[in-house]
Amino acid sequence: MSWTSIIAIYVLFWVLSAFVILPIGIRTHDEMGLAKTPGQADSAPANFRPGTIILRTTLLSAALFGLYYANYSYGWIDRHSFDFLVSGRPD
């Protein structure tokens, strides 16, 4: 696998992980008992910390990509692992 493929696949894992991590630990102003600014959405987060989200996203995406690359290298799961999904397969 070329290094450009590695970077592209890692970026995909990072973006997917970001969407998984974003809602974790976020609380609204009502949940935290804080006053809201006039015109503020009820769902706006009161404790948004982008640094923590970036760190968690990077750790999760690194772990997921590590599993992906290990599977790519050692071939634990390949296309033949899903042969049971094909109906009418001759034996």
Domain boundaries, given as residue ranges, for the chain: 3-77
Give the closest residue to 61 by CA, choosing from 25, 18, 3. Answer: 18
Number of Cβ within 10 Å of residue 81's Cβ equals 10
Report residue 25 as tokens. Answer: 């630990």
Band (86; pLDDT cuts 50, 70, 90): confident
Burial (0-12, 13-18, 19+ Cβ within 10 Å), 61:
buried
Output the pLDDT for position 58: 97
Output the pLDDT for position 89: 56
Rounded to an integer, the average pLDDT of 56-63 is 97
Rounded to an integer, the average pLDDT of 41-59 is 93
How far is Cα 42 from Cα 86, in angstroms, rounded to an integer?
49
